[in-house]
Amino acid sequence: MSIAANISRLEAQLDQHHCKLIAVSKTKPPETIMEAYSGGFRRFGENRAQELVDKQQQLPTDIEWHMIGHLQRNKVKYLAPFVSMIHGVDNLKLLREINKQAEKAQRVIPCLLQVHIAQEESKFGFKLEELPELLKSAVFEGLEHVQILGLMGMATFTNDRQQIQGEFRNLKNLFNKLDGMDSPPNFQMKELSMGMSNDFEIALEEGSTMVRIGSRIFGARN
Ligand SMILES: *Cc1c(COP(=O)(O)O)cnc(C)c1O
């Protein structure tokens, strides 16, 4: 199957759940991205800042670029002028730096807060219990150049379906809880970014609004 065909098949499946597709193009060359672009697709995700900037410079300007990986504070300035959404905001210092660089770029940058839902030690993110406390303590107020639009999470890499389902469900419950709390105008629960090639079908059942899919579209990475 061609890349464009993979995308249309996935989009047909996602549409039924009102879920958006982020095509994860990391490690893939610009020509490969152009195959998807030529089929009409515009929303791509990368997990390294440098690679994202390089590709943005080489490819058409109407592409929506999503930063989905761990982002270091010193890289934010390179993305701030153009990035469509930053999914992996996993600490407040990073959020403040995004706010600062967005102000310089005269923009408001849509962000998702990454939450640690997996059992694995290595995954980044806020703790599930932590965010309601942070929201109550007003730390998000006054950051006028970021728009927090929801949450992002990655489930444990496992074949245990129930475990993955439980982790996504925890994230969705947190999403609902935050949605029901008083919050400043720059904090809204609209998007839930969860699900990758191996687990997106479970994520759809659990209420995902954005799935980040790479290998199911572009084939395995080296
Ligand atoms: C690589 C990556 C994906 C996509 O992974 P696939 O298994 O290829 O679909 C999704 N989210 C993040 C954060 C990634 O780094």
For 102-162, the DSSP string reads HHHTT--EEEEEEE--SS-TT---B-TTHHHHHHHTTTTTT-TTEEEEEEEE---SSS-HH
Mean pLDDT of 36-48: 97
- The verdict on the CB of residue 26 being under 6 Å from ligand 1 is yes
- The verdict on the CB of residue 157 being under 6 Å from ligand 1 is no
Write down the pLDDT at residue 120.
82
- The verdict on the CB of residue 213 being under 6 Å from ligand 1 is yes
Report whether pLDDT(22) > 90.
Answer: yes
Report whether pLDDT(13) > 90.
Answer: yes
Percent above pLDDT 90 for the chain: 96
The residue that leads in pLDDT, 158 or 121, is 158
Please give the distance, rounded to the nearest whole angstrom, from the Cα atom of residue 182 to the centre of ligand 1.
Answer: 32
Domain residue spans in the chain?
Answer: 3-218
- The verdict on the CB of residue 195 being under 6 Å from ligand 1 is no
Encode pLDDT of 49-63 as tens digits. 999 999 999 999 999
Write down the pLDDT at residue 121.
76
Q: Which CATH superfamily is domain 3-218 in?
A: Alanine racemase (3.20.20.10)
Please give the distance, rounded to the nearest whole angstrom, from the Cα atom of residue 24 to the centre of ligand 1.
Answer: 6
Confidence band (pLDDT; 50, 70, 90) for 123? low
What sign does the CA torsion over 13, 17, 18, 23 have? Answer: negative
CA distances to 9, 24, 118, 135, 154 from 197, rounded to whole Å, are: 13, 10, 16, 32, 12
Report whether pLDDT(221) > 90.
Answer: no
Mean pLDDT of 150-167: 97
Please give the distance, rounded to the nearest whole angstrom, from the Cα atom of residue 130 to the centre of ligand 1.
Answer: 25
Mean pLDDT of 187-209: 98
